[in-house]
Structure 1
Amino acid sequence: MASANSQNLGRKPIGKLLVQQAAPASIGILVMSLNILIDTIFVGNWIGSTAIAAINVVLPVSFFIAALGMAIGIGGSSIISRALGGDDRKKALKTFGNQISLTLILTITLVIIGLIFVDSLIPAFGGKGDIFEPAKVYYTIVLYGVPFLALCMMGNTVIRAEGKPKFAMIAMIIPSVGNLLLDYFFINQMGLGMWGAAWATTASYLFCFAYVFWFFVSKNSELKISLPDFGLNKSILSEMGSLGFVTLSRQAVVSIIYLLMNNILFDLGGEDSVAIYAIIGRMLMFALFPVLGVTQGFLPIAGFNYGAQKYQRVKESINTAILYACGLGLLVFGGIMFFAEEIVEIFTQNPTIIAETPDAMRWVFAATPIVAIQLIGAAYFQAVGKAIPALLLTLSRQGFFFIPLILILPNYYGEIGVWISFPIADLLSTLVTAYFLNREIRLKLKPETSR
């Protein structure tokens, strides 16, 4: 039998469960986002706006490798949630062991490749001109810590699958606090510049890994794996890969978007335009924390109840998650619309960036109130193990709509064409996701089929 923690996912009221799962997830994402935000503020004020652009250039590579851990984590955690819901502990344990093995093999291999081709990758992702040297310093150091970050991202999703969101929240808070303290010490006090910013980030990954490792070897975790569980299992890897590929594809598209955006904006407006995108990108990570928290909280609830064949509870979790997330998205939208200028002035004193960023930011966040429908809809299909619709809906927003838009609209409208691509892509993908999610609810989640 699964422990009381995971069984609660199938018993407690959905609204209460969602708050219990989403609140720690939101706090964790908030702290992590604040870390990225404040880190950018520190770098911008203590090193310069070029340093902000340099970090933004490095993000696609480090994010993609770290996303492997997230992909393996979410793919495996979907299996674990459904296995715990169906009282199959043996499969849950084997899946967790395979997650660890696969994460180590893939991330270490990619880090080696990334270090070998460093001088080619940085210019390809927009690290040109004055941006190249600081980007190379940051990239080289941060890449050493990325396997630990990948293990943390993987472990964090498994902790949630066990029904222990508070521990997952702490795992996200620890590296954030550590990074900010080390930023202050290395950059402000010791004057180490980009070198200090990079080592602060890498050390924070190690702090997080230490905590996640402690969680799984302590009595807090119900997943006590043994050596045979690390042996790769073809059927588990296949299922994990098909589900994890959804997350990996999304992160791969994010990396491609960074590549395209950095190059398009550099050609349109130089280093300043890249820095503007870097600031907006940080705000996207930060401001949407409550919506993303609801999405994270929704995943184990939907997965467990689907595995237990409690389809009416799955339907209720979808409706409740969308309601909560859309309401929070509306609050975010209002904050950005009214305080865009004040937000930008926190990051930099560059007059050009201060003048141009607020309007661009408003365009980027214009569809925020409805984007929760797209996020929850895509997350549902991933939670219940339906890889193909999850993949297509996940890619619809940034891949199928956004990338073509940023390749076409700037040719006619210049830099404004880049910014209006965001809300158009959000609207189109939300409409598509709403259609397929509604169809799924009507055909597959009928009350009479619940156990």
Structure 2
Amino acid sequence: MQEKLQSERLGTEPIPKLLRNLSVPAVIGMFVMALYNVIDTIFISYAVGISAVAGLTISFPVLMIIMAISAAIGVGGASVISRKLGAKKIGEANQVFGNIITMILFISLIGFIGGFTLLKPTLVLFGATSDILNYAYEYMFPLMLGTFFFSFGFSTNSIVRSEGNAKFAMNLMIISSVLNIILDAIFILGFGMGIRGAAYATLLAQAVIAIITLQYFLSGKSSLSITVTTLKPKFIIMKEVLSVGLPAFMQQAAGSIMMISINAMLIRFGTEFHVGLYGIIQRISMLMLMPLLGIMQGMQPIIGYNLGANNFSRLKQTVLLGLKVATLLATAIFLIMMSFPKLFITIFSSDPTVIDSGTDAIRILFAASFFIGVPIVCGGIFQALGKVKEALILSMSRQFLFLIPLVLILPHFIGVNGVWMAFPISDALAFFLSGFLLYRNRKLILHEDEIQEVVPFEGKVSTTSQ
């Protein structure tokens, strides 16, 4: 009965209602989750200073690498699981889930060891100067020791959504964020622990979420179950999960490389001040992008389930509605950021220099933000369809193919503003690439007179006419 409640509604409820029910919790949960990053930065900025924010920004690419691997496992696994549930292959779905847990345990062990052996050299490699290295290390070391909590929570949240239980996934993110904010206040302001207090707050919050999530799967509330036999590694399952999740990994990994490149160019053509300034603007960007990411995540289980169920009318309706909503949201983001940039900066700092420089940077960064909805949603569409090549191209396009080269080139001609200018140019290029890939795959998305057969554990889709 629970299995029906969690997954079968993906093939029966009206698409607008279903997309709203799955997206809104994801938006709320991710918004609250982004909010704790914002509040982290606010506490650190006021309690320690802009140099500590720069240290936080330098350390963030390391955390993004962990998140990239977790995203590959979680998003890839969620896509495979939703298609298995749609095809009524519950046993195979449980096998996939068990192998996901095994992969998480392996990654966690590597992260734990890396915290003792590779962290400080990595931070120096990523651009940490002598002034900000200690800040970066104090923040990342506790988090590396707790890699399991991050990986498990990040990966399994996607799995929970894959079976249609978006409300629980939202609650997990809300609990994590609220708890993190409370612990931030206690450790940073109450105990005066500075940036290390922010790390402890994050680690404890993630540990609580890991326990709650594990209890959810063990209690029978999920459509999925964990057994010793499903934990046994199977290469063919892991291969499909990682191949489908590769675009998510590349997107997160490209984000890490992007931040390393940005930090390096800001230090070279500016100072640590500009690195701290970018750290503030990045938190604002994360907050603004949450609704778009929520729409993408709400669409994915619907698309994957109905692909597995050969229900292409619902698949088409989901894609078109998601693209429309994403475009409207992206336009709203553009209008807000062009109208009130100073308001957002003043939340983080009362320093006139930070406010003036940040206001100018925001207007440049978000100059083409009305383009960003389509590329974000399209990446999620192709992941849910199991179209690995297209999803990989999109996941790499804005950051790796466009943004990073522009970040490395433009500052040589126009200084620090070249870093900011790289963003709107990349947004426009990614939009046009997304449109091209949608057009190339229009038959799969728009034609209802074709049957797609999902090949088990291979991540491939074959097409035959009815």
The Cα shift of 1:443 comes to 5.2
Checking the alignment, whether the CA contact within 8 Å between 2:99 and 2:233 is kept in structure 1 is: yes
Taking the TM superposition and a 5 Å limit, the aligned residue runs for 1:376-415 are: 376-415=377-416
- Tell me whether 1:112 sits opposite 2:132 in the alignment: no
Runs (4 or more) in structure 1 with deviation over 3 Å come to 442-445
Q: Give the structure 2 partner of residue 14 of structure 1.
A: 15
Mapped partners of 1:326, 1:444: distance in 2 = 18
Checking the alignment, whether the CA contact within 8 Å between 1:307 and 1:384 is kept in structure 2 is: no
Mapped partners of 2:299, 2:9: distance in 1 = 14
Aligned amino acid, residue 265 of structure 1: L
Taking the TM superposition and a 5 Å limit, the aligned residue runs for 1:232-251 are: 232-251=233-252
The Cα shift of 1:86 comes to 0.4
The Cα shift of 1:129 comes to 2.9
Q: Give the structure 1 partner of residue 227 of structure 2.
A: 226
Query: 1:392-431 CA distances to partner (integer Å, 9 max, x unpaired)?
Result: 1110111111111111111111111111110111111110
The Cα shift of 1:93 comes to 0.2
Give % identity. Answer: 37
Greater shift in the superposed pair: 149-158 or 105-114: 105-114
Residues 230 and 443 of structure 1: CA distance in aligned 2, closer, same or farther (over 3 Å): closer
Query: 1:32-82 CA distances to partner (integer Å, 9 max, x unpaired)?
Result: 011111111111111111111111111111121132222101101111000
- Tell me whether 1:3 sits opposite 2:4 in the alignment: yes
Aligned amino acid, residue 331 of structure 1: A
Mapped partners of 1:109, 1:89: distance in 2 = 31
The Cα shift of 1:9 comes to 0.7
- Tell me whether 1:194 sits opposite 2:156 in the alignment: no
Checking the alignment, whether the CA contact within 8 Å between 1:272 and 1:352 is kept in structure 2 is: no
- Tell me whether 1:168 sits opposite 2:173 in the alignment: no
Residues 191 and 110 of structure 1: CA distance in aligned 2, closer, same or farther (over 3 Å): closer
Q: Give the structure 1 partner of residue 442 of structure 2.
A: 441
- Unmatched runs of 5 consecutive residues or more in structure 1: none
- Three-state SS of the structure 2 residue aligned to 1:330 is helix
The Cα shift of 1:435 comes to 1.1
Mapped partners of 1:201, 1:69: distance in 2 = 17
Of Structure 1 and Structure 2, the greater helix share is in: 1
Q: Give the structure 1 partner of residue 65 of structure 2.
A: 64
Checking the alignment, whether the CA contact within 8 Å between 2:29 and 2:173 is kept in structure 1 is: yes
Checking the alignment, whether the CA contact within 8 Å between 1:149 and 1:208 is kept in structure 2 is: no
Q: Give the structure 1 partner of residue 364 of structure 2.
A: 363
Mapped partners of 2:13, 2:433: distance in 1 = 32
Residues 40 and 444 of structure 1: CA distance in aligned 2, closer, same or farther (over 3 Å): closer
Q: Give the structure 2 partner of residue 431 of structure 1.
A: 432
- Three-state SS of the structure 2 residue aligned to 1:264 is helix
Taking the TM superposition and a 5 Å limit, the aligned residue runs for 1:23-172 are: 23-172=24-173
Checking the alignment, whether the CA contact within 8 Å between 2:82 and 2:163 is kept in structure 1 is: yes
- Unmatched runs of 5 consecutive residues or more in structure 2: 452-465
The Cα shift of 1:444 comes to 5.5
Greater shift in the superposed pair: 166-175 or 330-339: 330-339
Aligned amino acid, residue 129 of structure 2: K
Mapped partners of 2:416, 2:157: distance in 1 = 38
Checking the alignment, whether the CA contact within 8 Å between 1:268 and 1:414 is kept in structure 2 is: yes
Mapped partners of 1:222, 1:442: distance in 2 = 32
Mapped partners of 1:127, 1:119: distance in 2 = 9
The Cα shift of 1:367 comes to 2.1
- Three-state SS of the structure 1 residue aligned to 2:225 is coil
Query: Once superposed, what is the RMSD of the aligned Cα atoms?
Result: 1.4
Checking the alignment, whether the CA contact within 8 Å between 2:114 and 2:144 is kept in structure 1 is: no
Mapped partners of 1:297, 1:59: distance in 2 = 26
Mapped partners of 1:283, 1:246: distance in 2 = 24
The Cα shift of 1:91 comes to 0.8
Checking the alignment, whether the CA contact within 8 Å between 1:393 and 1:433 is kept in structure 2 is: yes
Greater shift in the superposed pair: 77-86 or 119-128: 119-128
Checking the alignment, whether the CA contact within 8 Å between 1:124 and 1:259 is kept in structure 2 is: no
- Three-state SS of the structure 1 residue aligned to 2:340 is helix
Mapped partners of 1:444, 1:8: distance in 2 = 21
Q: Give the structure 2 partner of residue 349 of structure 1.
A: 350
Using the size of structure 1 for normalisation, the TM-score is 0.97
Aligned amino acid, residue 57 of structure 1: I
The Cα shift of 1:119 comes to 2.3
The Cα shift of 1:258 comes to 1.0
- Three-state SS of the structure 2 residue aligned to 1:288 is helix
Checking the alignment, whether the CA contact within 8 Å between 2:188 and 2:194 is kept in structure 1 is: yes
The Cα shift of 1:204 comes to 1.2
Aligned amino acid, residue 258 of structure 1: M
Aligned amino acid, residue 235 of structure 1: I
Mapped partners of 1:431, 1:308: distance in 2 = 31
Query: 1:107-150 CA distances to partner (integer Å, 9 max, x unpaired)?
Result: 32133124302221112222113111111111111212222111
Mapped partners of 1:282, 1:329: distance in 2 = 17
Q: Give the structure 2 partner of residue 181 of structure 1.
A: 182
- How many aligned positions are there? 451
The Cα shift of 1:11 comes to 1.1
Mapped partners of 1:90, 1:179: distance in 2 = 36
